[in-house]
Amino acid sequence: MTDMNDLDEKIRKALSRNDAAMIGNPNDGLRLDEQVLGVFRSGNRFMNAIAMIFTFVFFGLAIYCIVRFFATDVTKELIAWGIGFGTCALAVSMLKLWFWMEMQRLAVTREVKRVEL
């Protein structure tokens, strides 16, 4: 980790004052709330907002399915509500995975721009 900090300092010293200010601190943007909000400020903000809405919808449906699962005694209904819960939980997992990958893509893009300068 120390080698990386030394490298950052060497790069800062080699750059002009304006370029060094534009690059900023490499640790900026590491807070989770800034990364989440950054996803909604990117070029795909509409798609990201829809994905977040669908995540909440599927989460609500998963809760509904699990409540109904424990409220019934009929085997067919148990299977149906269990499959519904599994499907909704899988959808939530995949949407969250996609959302985290978007945050990672933006972080990598930010670092590449920093290296380009």
Confidence (pTM)? 0.70
Residue 25 inside a domain? The answer is no
Q: Cα–Cα distance between 114 and 70 in angstroms, integer? A: 53
pLDDT of 55 over the 60 cut: yes
Residue (of 54, 64, 66) closest to 91 by Cα position? 54
Looking at per-residue pLDDT, the higher value among 3 and 59 belongs to 59
Any domain includes 52: yes
Query: Which stretches within 24-74 are classed as H helix?
Result: 32-39, 45-71
Q: Is residue 9 part of a domain?
A: no
Q: State the total domains in the chain.
A: 1
Quote the domain boundaries for residue 101: 42-109
| 100 assigned to some structural domain | yes
Q: How sure is the predictor about 1, in pLDDT bands with cuts at 50, 70 and 90?
A: low
Q: CA-CA distance, 43 to 21, in Å (whole number)?
A: 25
Q: What pLDDT score does 110 carry?
A: 79
Q: Residue 39's pLDDT is what?
A: 82
Looking at residue 76, what is its pLDDT? 96
| pLDDT given for residue 27 in this prediction | 59
Which tens digit of pLDDT belongs to each residue from 12-27? 677 666 555 555 565 5
With respect to residue 70, please indicate whether it lies within any of the assigned structural domains.
yes
Cβ-based neighbours of 92, under 8 Å, separated by 6 or more: 55, 58, 59, 62
- Domain annotation covers residue 91: yes
Structural domain contains residue 17 = no
